[in-house]
Amino acid sequence: MAYKLNMNTKMQLGTSDENPTFTDIPRLRSIPGISREMEKIEVTHNQSTNREYVPNGLQDPGDYSFDMETDRTDTVHQTIFAMMASGEALPFRIIYPDGLAYEFEASVIGITRADYDPQSPDVIIDTVDLAISGEIKDISDDLLS
């Protein structure tokens, strides 16, 4: 049996307000895990017997991609396509079934129309590529309170 790690995971798009309102992105197909990596700074010196590193460099949020069944009549999908044209960055949230949740700001840097799905030939699947800017915040406790 194959496990679907993103089953019941929600991804939301926020408004550009100071206190954004979030709406679920409908018809998601694939929401991969989000990665947070920290640079390591080499601090090796003449007395070192091995390379030495300090693991508190800058965090690199990188890029993120997800798949959705596109419905161009849906306002959230329309906003995502408009973000591609405008370059605007908006807040996103990923909420996992176990309560873990992340929030980050991102702009849409690519939308790729996929080949049709043989099991659902009438469905249009797009891969949306995001450029994350700033910090990926763990908001799990905020959502529980």
Helix, strand, coil shares, percent, the chain, to 5: 10, 45, 45
Whole-angstrom Cα distance, residue 128 to residue 65? Answer: 5
**DSSP code, position 117:** B
Whole-angstrom Cα distance, residue 67 to residue 25? Answer: 11
* Kind plus residue range of the DSSP H or E element containing 41: strand 41-42
Terminal Cα distance for the chain, rounded: 36
Whole-angstrom Cα distance, residue 108 to residue 112? Answer: 11
Whole-angstrom Cα distance, residue 15 to residue 7? Answer: 25
For the entire predicted model, the pTM comes to 0.80
For 24, 41, 46, the CA distances from 52, given in Å and listed in that order, are: 44, 8, 11
pLDDT tens for each residue of the chain, 145 residues long: 444 556 789 999 999 999 999 999 999 988 887 776 677 778 888 888 888 877 776 666 778 999 999 998 999 999 999 999 999 999 999 999 888 999 999 999 999 988 666 777 788 889 999 999 888 898 988 877 6
Which CATH number is 10-144 given? Answer: 4.10.410
- For 83-125, the pLDDT digits (tens) are 999 999 999 999 998 889 999 999 999 999 886 667 777 888 8
Each domain of the chain, given as residue ranges in start order, spans 10-144
